Structure 1
Amino acid sequence: MKKRTFLKNSSLLVGGVLIQPILSCSPQKPDETMTSETLKNWAENFEFGTTNVHYPNTVEEVQALVKKCEKLRVLGSRHSFNRIADSNDNLISFQNLNKIISLDREQNQVTVEGGIKYGELCAYLHQNGYALHNLASLPHISVAGTIATATHGSGVENGNLSTGVAAIEFVNAKGELVQLSKETDPDFFGAVVGLGGFGPVTKVTLDLVPTFEVAQVVYMDMPMATLKDNFQAIMASGYSVSLFLDWKSDNVNEVWVKRKVVLGGALDFPEEFFGAKQAKVHMHPVQEMSAESCSEQLAIPGPWYERLPHFKMEFQPSAGKELQSEYFVPMANGYEALMAVKEMADQISSHLFISEIRSIKADELWMSTCYQRDSIAVHTTWKQEIPEVMALLPQMEAKLEPFNPRPHWAKLFTISSEKLQERYPKMGEFKSLLAKHDPEGKFRNEFIDQNIFGK
C-alpha cells in the first residue's frame, strides 16, 4: 500500500469530531471517557492492576491521553491469559474505536480502527466480495491485539494474522501519529508484532483476497502412530488443519480438516483419513461439551469467516473458565515435539481440557513466533487449576527445549528472558525500535520489562 494512500485514508474518520475539553489520567479527576472499574481478563484467571480505565471515542482523545499519562497500556479484547496487556497505572479500551474506515478496491485492502473484532469485520468483507487470508479459532478477538501478539490460524501455506497487515498507525509516547507501511518503511517489520510497546494502534490496513467458501469435516480417533511417517502430509491435507488430543490414549481424538470449495468442483472428504473415521454428527474439540457453539461441520459449505474459526461469534468461545499455553517449534520437528509432550501424558491429562496442534507458515516479522521458520504450534487449553498448571509448564518447556520453543506472547509460559533473547534474532533491533518511539518507557509494563528487557 502506498503511504500517501494510507495517510489519505487516515482523514476519513475523525474529521469534525470535537475532543473532550479535559482528559485526565487521575481517578480523582474523572471525565466522560474514563471509568473506575475492576476488570478481569476473558477467562477470569486474573484482575487487571488498575481501575483507571479510559474509553476514548476519537484518535485525538487517544493522543491527549498519551500526552497526559505517565504510564498506560491498551486492553485489547482481554483475551490474553498473561499480563501482557496489564497496567498498574492506566488502561485504554478501544471498544469505541471499532469502525471500518475505508475499503480500497484498487489496492484490495481495508483500513479499520484498532478496536474492531474479526467477527465484526468479516461479514462486511464477504458482502463486498473479499476475505482475509486466514482467521484464528476465535472471531471474538480484536484486530490490533491479534497482530500485536502474532495470533494465528492454521495452514502450512498460511502466515499468522499479522502477515496480512499492509500498514499500521499508532500513537507514540509523544502523542504523535506514526504511520508505517510494508512497502516503504523497514521499521514496519519490527512494529507490527509490537507487543503493545509502541503505543496505541489506532489504524490497521489489511490485505484482502477474493471471498471464498470452506467446508470442514471432523475425523475421529486417528492412531497417533500414523503421524510418524505422515505428519506433514496430514497437516497439509486442507487449507487449515487442527489435531485435538487429550493424551489419554494412543489416538488423536479429532482431526478438523477445512478445505476451500472450488467452484464447480466436488468436495473430496474420504470416509477414512489415515485410519480415522469421519464423524457423522457435529463435534466440539472437547467431546464432552455441546457442539452448538462450534462452526458448521459435516462438509456443509459456507463463507470463509463462518468455517475457518472453530467457534461462532454469537457463543462463548472454547471452554470458558480455562487457562491456555502454546509453544511454537519448527515444522520439521513437529512429530518429535508431540512425542516429547506425550511423555508427560500421565502428568498432564487430568489437568487439561484439550491440546490442539496447528501449522503456520514462516514470516519476516521480527517478534513473530514464526519468524523465519515454518512452525507447528502445540497449544493446550488447561482447566483453571493455576498452581498445578504453573508447575507443569516448566516441565513441558523442558520437554520441548531441544526444539527451541517460542511461547505465544499472550498465553502462559515460564521461559526465561535469556532464552527468548536467543530465540528472536532481531530482539536487539526490536528493543532499539521501542526506545526510538518510547524512550522513557511509557508503554512498558512488568511483562515487557521482564521478558524483553530482562528486568
Structure 2
Amino acid sequence: MIDHSAHAPSARRTNWAGNITFGAKQLHTPASVAELQDLVAAGTAVRALGTGHSFNTVADTSGSLISVAGLPRSIEIDGEARTATVSAGLRFGELTDALHRAGFALHNMGSLPHISVAGACATGTHGSGVGNRSLAGAVRALELVTADGHLVTLRRGEPDFDGAVVSLGALGVVTRLTLDLVPAFDVQQWVYEAFPQDRLLARFDEVMSEAYSVSLFTGWHGGPVDQVWLKRKVGDDGPRTAPDQWHGATLASGPRHPVPGVAAEHCTRQQGVPGPWYARLPHFRLEFTPSNGDELQSEYFVARHDAVAAYEALDRVRDRFAPLLQIGEIRTVAGDGLWLSPAQGRDSVAFHFTWVPDTAAVMPALRAIEEALAPFAARPHWGKVFTTGPGALRELYPHYADFEGLTTRFDPAGTFRNDFLAHHFPRTH
C-alpha cells in the first residue's frame, strides 16, 4: 500500500494498482488538524488521499492531494457506549488489535486490512455477510474539515449524516470517525472446492447464510464454483469441525489463495483454526501485501432477491469477460440507509471482478457486464473501474439529487470537486 506518512517520499504519484497517475501538483501530509485546516482554506482544488486502493480517479485532482496519515494517531474506546473514535488515516489493521485487547470488535472487515478507515467508508467499501452492513454502516459520527477550513462534526440521526458518510470526499477532508463496536469474537475459516453451480442456484440464500461471512470465488468458466470460503463465528460450545463434503463441494486439503495457482502464504489462516475476528474476516493478512498491484477491479451490487437471475445473466455472457479475469468473487452485504452506499435501501449481493491489468481490454468486458446487469439496477462500487454514466446513476440512487444539494451547500466553490465528481455528479446550475 502507499505510505503517505511524514517520512514517505512525496514524489509518489500513482495509486496502488499503478493504473492511475495522479495529476496533483502537490502532495501534503499535515502533522496537525490546524495545519490541515490552513491547507484546505488556502486551496482552490483539494482532494483527500487514503491508501490509494481505488482503481479510478475518485481521489485525483489538478491541485493538491492531502493525506491525513500524518495526523496524530488516536484510538479512543468508550466501553459503555461501545464505540471507538479513531483518526481517519489509520488503516483497519492498525486499530483492530487495540479493539480486541479491550474486548471489542468491528462488526465487519473488508478483504484487505491494509485500507484506511476514512477511505473505505467514503467509497462504500464493505466486507461480507447476509446480516452485516458495510464498513460505513458502523460510522456513528465523523469530523471533517470543510472548504472554508472549519472543523465540523456530523452525528447519526442529524439531517446531513446519511449523505456525509459515503461522500466520495466531496464534502471535506475527514479527520476522525466514531465507529460502533460489538463484543470481540473468534472465527473459524474453511475453504471448499468445486461447488456445483446447480446447487448454488437452487439454494443461494441458504448457502450465503451458512456462516457469518461467505465468499464464492469463480473464474466464470461455466463449471462448478472454484472455491467457497466459510467464516464461522465460534459459539459458546467452542470450535467446530467441518465435514469433508458440503452441498456437493469438497473440503480443501490445505490452505488456498483465491486466485488459482497462487501460493496461500498471504491469506488468513484456514482449515478451521480458530482465531480473532480481525485475523479471519479479511482474506489477506496485514503483515503481507496481497499482490503487487498488478490488477484492476470492478464490482456491482444488485438486490439479494435478484442474485440468482443476475448470476444467470452474467453466465450467459461469460465468454465476453472471463478470458480477462484473474478471479471473480460473490458476497452478500446487508442494506443500510446511507445515500451513496451501493447497498442503500436493499440487502445486496456484490459481484466482484479482479481483472488482468489491461484497461483497454477490460473496458468492453465492463460494458458486457453492465448490459447484463442493467435489468437488476446494478450499482457500481465507487472506488473501482466502471462505465455507468450519470444518467443511470441518478436512477440507481434515490438520494442522488439530495447528495448533489449537499455538495453544493458544503462546497459551493467546488474546492473538493474533481473530474470524477464533475462527470458523475454534474452541476447544472
Superposed pair shares fold, TM > 0.5: yes
Off by >6 Å, runs of 4+ in structure 1 = 32-35
| Cα deviation digits, residues 187-223 of structure 1 (max 9, x gap) | 1111011110011000100010110000010000001
Distance in 1 (CA, whole Å) between partners of 2:389 and 2:89 is 31
Distance in 1 (CA, whole Å) between partners of 2:214 and 2:374 is 25
**2:3 matched residue in structure 1:** none
Distance in 1 (CA, whole Å) between partners of 2:127 and 2:27 is 30
Give the C-alpha shift of residue 318 in structure 1.
Answer: 4.8
**2:98 matched residue in structure 1:** 124
1:98–1:219 Cα change, 3 Å? farther
**2:142 matched residue in structure 1:** 168
Which of 367, 371, 390 is the equivalent residue of 1:394?
367
Instruction: Please state whether the residue corresponding to 1:88 is helix, strand or coil.
Output: coil
Corresponding residue pairs, total: 423
Does 151-160 or 387-396 show the bigger shift? 387-396
Distance in 1 (CA, whole Å) between partners of 2:63 and 2:170 is 15
**2:314 matched residue in structure 1:** 341
Tell me if 1:206 matches 2:168: no
Give the C-alpha shift of residue 342 in structure 1.
Answer: 1.3
Give the C-alpha shift of residue 35 in structure 1.
Answer: 7.2
**1:27 matched residue in structure 2:** none
Which of 141, 145, 155 is the equivalent residue of 1:181?
155
**1:366 matched residue in structure 2:** 339
| Cα deviation digits, residues 394-430 of structure 1 (max 9, x gap) | 1110011110100000000001100000110011111
TM-score (norm 1): 0.91
**2:354 matched residue in structure 1:** 381
Which of 167, 179, 192 is the equivalent residue of 1:219?
192
Which of 238, 262, 272 is the equivalent residue of 1:265?
238
Give the C-alpha shift of residue 272 in structure 1.
Answer: 1.2
| Cα deviation digits, residues 334-381 of structure 1 (max 9, x gap) | 111111111222222221100000000010001100010010000000
**1:297 matched residue in structure 2:** 270
Does 400-409 or 432-441 show the bigger shift? 432-441
- In the alignment, residue 371 of structure 1 is paired with which amino acid? Q
Distance in 2 (CA, whole Å) between partners of 1:339 and 1:319 is 32
Distance in 1 (CA, whole Å) between partners of 2:77 and 2:127 is 23
Distance in 1 (CA, whole Å) between partners of 2:37 and 2:414 is 16
Contact 1:34–1:54 under 8 Å retained in 2: no
Instruction: Please state whether the residue corresponding to 1:214 is helix, strand or coil.
Output: strand
Alignment of 1:425-440 (within 5 A): 425-440=398-413
**2:35 matched residue in structure 1:** 61
**1:133 matched residue in structure 2:** 107
**2:166 matched residue in structure 1:** 193
Tell me if 1:72 matches 2:68: no
Distance in 2 (CA, whole Å) between partners of 1:216 and 1:180 is 37
Distance in 1 (CA, whole Å) between partners of 2:64 and 2:14 is 14
Instruction: Please state whether the residue corresponding to 1:333 is helix, strand or coil.
Output: helix
The unaligned stretches of length 5 or more in structure 2 are 1-5
Aligned Cα root-mean-square deviation (Å): 1.5
1:217–1:36 Cα change, 3 Å? closer
Which of 33, 40, 65 is the equivalent residue of 2:14?
40
TM-score (norm 2): 0.96
Contact 1:35–1:53 under 8 Å retained in 2: no
Q: Percent identity?
A: 46
Instruction: Please state whether the residue corresponding to 2:337 is helix, strand or coil.
Output: coil
Instruction: Please state whether the residue corresponding to 2:95 is helix, strand or coil.
Output: helix
**1:29 matched residue in structure 2:** none
